[in-house]
Structure 1
Amino acid sequence: MESFEQLLTESTRIHGHICAGQVIGVRMAMAGLDRIGITDPKKTERKKLYVLVEIDRCATDAIQSVTGCSLGKRSLRWLDFGVMAATFVNLDSGRAVRIVAREEARTLAESYCPEVEDKYQRQLQAYTVMPLDELFLFQEVEVKIPECALPGRPLRRVQCDQCGDWVQDCREREKDGRTLCRACDGERYYRVLDRTEPQPGTPG
């Protein structure tokens, strides 16, 4: 695997800027891969690796950059827990480790780089040198990944009986004998505009 400096440079390029979250994500991914026995995640061992992330912040971009896992490849899964944590799974061996960023690392940063006045820059620099056990909590875990969530072709595609959308990967719902997409089952995040409503920039 590439060095920390090389991985951080590439992650920063993809993310668009350097920040403490990038440092955390790169170090978290490197430590996770090491603990589950994967050394070549983007090439020879790419089909062995599965990652679950618990937050949609900067660190997630870094984890994706280091591991090569992504939503599109179905090797990265986002769980909306709001925790700065990720779980790395070796699909071949079953070994898995959940890594959580320690909150107390924010305060510890002061003892590593006291000369840096800006707290965000202080954290960024401190996180690059802080021992892993001070930066993270490591948990050996067991993860059961549903077959429908694994990489590969969709196991099935079904049509929603209400709106007609096609639903893949077992995400449909059964209700009162009908097959529904999640939007029609009450999880809709959008409102379909009436075709007769004036559109922005057009006369009413």
Structure 2
Amino acid sequence: MQDFETLLNGSAAHHGHLCAGQVIGVRMAMLGCNLIGLDEPSNMPQIKKIIVYVEIDRCATDAIAYVTGVKLGRRSLKFVDNGIMAATFVNLETMQAFRIESTEESRELADKYAPEIREKKLRQLEGYKRMSDKELFTIQKVTVDIPASDYPGPTRFKALCAKCGTVVRDKREVLKKNQILCRPCAFGSYYTITEGENVNVRS
């Protein structure tokens, strides 16, 4: 694995800016990969051995994805919307898994580690670089029960929504009143159709 500064610079460029969340994400990913025994997770053959569950959609998640190579489209990045600055790293070969959470105490410790920096955001960023893993993170060894439908690889599970006819993949269908439905039909959707029919697109 590349060194911290190289990964941080690459992650910041990929994300669009350097921030404290990038520092946390890069350090979290490096630690997580080390704990599950992967030193080149973004390259073959290790790229097929890792799944990461992230619990927040913030800057740190982009850093974790950059360092580990996990992606939504590869089905190796899983988003669990807990609103917690945490991630769980799983080695699919050994099934070793560790959940790493950023501590709230680290925010205050940043002042101690970089007192010479006047601007709070920059002080926090530099402090996160300097403090130990033990001060920055809480680490738990965990077990993750991964359903077969959540593993990376080709689609093996498909169903047809009885209401709208949409194909639902990867066991995300819902059985409701003895009908197989897609989630939008079963629970409602984040979108509302504003036109009465599909929009015709010119070829």
**Category of TM-score, reference length = shorter chain:** over 0.9
Q: Residue type of the partner of 1:134? A: E
Pairing of 1:25-174 with structure 2 (within 5 A): 25-43=25-43, 44-174=45-175
Shift of 1:117: 1.6
4+ residue segments displaced more than 3 Å: none
Secondary structure at the aligned position of 2:145 is classed as coil
The CA RMSD measured in Å over matched residues stands at 1.0
Q: In the aligned structure 2, how far is the partner of 1:86 from the partner of 1:187? A: 29
Q: Write out per-residue CA displacement over residues 111-166 of structure 1, whole angstroms, 9 at most, x where no aligned residue.
A: 11112122111110111111010000000001111111110111222111111211
Q: Write out per-residue CA displacement over residues 44-65 of structure 1, whole angstroms, 9 at most, x where no aligned residue.
A: 3111111000000000000000
Pairing of 1:170-189 with structure 2 (within 5 A): 170-189=171-190
Q: In the aligned structure 2, how far is the partner of 1:116 from the partner of 1:106? A: 14
Shift of 1:187: 3.4
- Asked if 2 retains the 8 angstrom alpha-carbon contact of 1:25 and 1:63, the reply is yes
- Asked if 2 retains the 8 angstrom alpha-carbon contact of 1:155 and 1:170, the reply is no
Secondary structure at the aligned position of 1:29 is classed as helix
Secondary structure at the aligned position of 1:121 is classed as helix
Give unmatched runs, 5+ long, in structure 2: 198-203
Shift of 1:195: 2.9
Shift of 1:168: 0.4
TM-score (norm 2): 0.94
Q: What does residue 202 of structure 1 align with? A: none
Q: Write out per-residue CA displacement over residues 75-120 of structure 1, whole angstroms, 9 at most, x where no aligned residue.
A: 0100000000000001111111000000000000111111212211
Q: Does 1:6 align with 2:10?
A: no
Q: In the aligned structure 2, how far is the partner of 1:42 from the partner of 1:76? A: 12
Give unmatched runs, 5+ long, in structure 1: 197-204
Q: What does residue 194 of structure 2 align with? A: 193
Q: In the aligned structure 2, how far is the partner of 1:136 from the partner of 1:147? A: 30
Q: In the aligned structure 1, how far is the partner of 2:12 from the partner of 2:143? A: 31
- Shifted more, 146-155 versus 58-67: the winner is 146-155
Shift of 1:178: 1.0
Secondary structure at the aligned position of 2:5 is classed as helix
TM-score (norm 1): 0.94
Q: In the aligned structure 2, how far is the partner of 1:55 from the partner of 1:40? A: 24
Q: In the aligned structure 1, how far is the partner of 2:171 from the partner of 2:196? A: 31
Q: Residue type of the partner of 1:165? A: T
Shift of 1:193: 1.5
